[in-house]
Amino acid sequence: MQTQSVRTGHRENALYLLGAAIVWAGIFIAVAVVLQGTPYFGQLLPILGGGAVYFVVLVPMLFVAASRTPSRTTASQPRQDP
Over the stretch 32-71, which tens digit does the pLDDT of each residue have? 899 998 989 889 989 988 988 888 888 888 877 877 777 6
Say what the pLDDT of residue 80 is.
64
Nearest to 9 by CA among 70, 73, 64, 65: 64
Query: What is the model's pLDDT at position 12?
Result: 81
Other Cβ atoms closer than 10 A to 43: 10
pLDDT: which is higher, 79 or 21: 21
Q: How confident is the model at residue 73 (pLDDT cuts 50, 70, 90)?
A: low
For residue 3, the model assigns a pLDDT of 54
pTM of the predicted protein model: 0.62
